[in-house]
Structure 1
């Protein structure tokens, strides 16, 4: 152990589900520690997400102990030594200490061991190579404590070798830097990512999607994405141009409005100029149906929202609904190149908070009473009347509605 300190502010080590798992595995000659991101986050005093645990116990022993304690176990990655234990509905990935026996990308053969330093050495970044025991003692075999203090993200060992083991680490390098680093990316790591960029083509769309959507909402997303764009690292991901200016504009608009960062909204700003871009990106990243619809809606004639007055904005809001309206408007704003404190854009973006779209008050019965028969023509007259109602700025008076209905019928059944 080259460096160590005691982690004081981690109550989950002393009590609760994680402490129970550690107690279960820390006996009869075996040892367990929390590893990776949970340790990093606790040291940086930011919220801890998943808690992963490493142990000297073999997977079969982990399963045996869990069963004896009445804890559910799931062999989620048994070939690589990972068993998921579920305690009070909270899952914990428990992985036996490992060393790479043969390395060829994601299909590396591993040998189980008892060497904590060797296990740390096979991880990706120094800030993720730390472990902490049940007493709060942090173990650092790779220089992670110094890098956390400096907010520096470095590969463990040879960056080229780490990347060749798994090319997703190129994206993880920028994502981890965007979330936890500061300043310029580590030079050696950056150059290794550029040298290994051809390997991005071999990654599954699902894995790329996961990393990119996390990266886009990180605090340092703009600097990280800009660093990726300069040497062409985004081209094999999106298959098209990356628009850094609109991406910057989207981040600024979200912050000005107090909106939570949205990965699909930011993805549209970065990679979508027209609907064809949206469809290509959705396929390349294998977005969910809902994500693809949102991206496609943003790319659909967003430029028509630039320069519109509030009356037209109300019609757009009525047609699109609140979420699609706001997202498309923000894309138009981000791509306008204007000042993000422009009061006109802010007013349009906050329209859903100031105005609720009414329901179209005319019904099929109103037109049947005017002699329309059920069938396709009834649908046409309803559509014509709705268009006229929107153009008249949503009137609700009976006389105005009657005039709209009469005019729509006259257009379908001229005399």
Structure 2
């Protein structure tokens, strides 16, 4: 798979037309498209190997269990951690909620929970609720006028507040900014903070080495990395995971049950009650195999070149304002055009087959900070190409002409 440009042929969704135009999919930040191998893996499970895991000695169950646990090992290897540190959840949102709920016992009144102004609602609201339960204080690292976190200022804020918990996105879902999380984690750990990194946007584009990052927890969603919806990953250092109380209860995560007492298994099983999303895990395993077969250096360079091409084209249009860090970015451009409403522009773009997102992107506090009611967001992946961008820019010119009459 050395030629990145040929990989888009593996994604069947991209071969259709919308409103009579070739589909230009520019919304990978919301969910990525799936290669045929992922679709085939899910279909194969239901067609040939459908059985529950960890529950039977018959051939189908043993095969399903083996394949299911092999994906956990693949995920761990991908992140450079141990398989016992990987918990399957329903998504990055549940992963954060699991940790935030479990840390209730770690906080007292006036302890500091520190996040950034860039965070997705899923990395704000669970911490707000934790603060309400414990009477801790939720503090925020600000962004500048362009929507960027300045690392020096962030380190100063950590030093000043000495947080008990520090939670930060690896890359902004709205602006695409890549944060210098390794430096922020290191500083937070100087004060004994528990650190959680939201990697939902970063995982596909950055391939993080969690041993190097040294965070306590890292979360991601399969569907943003070529995998199925309804599946997430919670990485936690083994001792940090086992220090958390159980989050949900049921079968499979128990050691013994009587009417008087229940005892629970160690991580990761203690956080995986009930029948898991087996088909999604197997589909994500196929996605990981697909990504492993691509030279990451070539893929990263391709995405960065494509992103700079997009930025250059957008900056050539008078009235366009792009927000965020345009140099350290996963490939997301968030912009406005003069005083035109983002919703109107997105609807017109759709009539040309352009799939882009409009709105606040689940970052209302960030929009308030930037004094915006929303933006148009274009989020790229390696299955995009310059032809997609050219079609988008051509459609954008025509939509602007229609809006201005």
Q: Normalised by the size of structure 1, how large is the TM-score?
A: 0.20
If each structure's helix is expressed as a fraction of its own residues, which one has the higher value? 1
Task: Specify which structure has the bigger relative contact order, considering alpha-carbon pairs within 8 angstroms and separated by 6 or more residues.
Answer: 2
If each structure's strand is expressed as a fraction of its own residues, which one has the higher value? 2
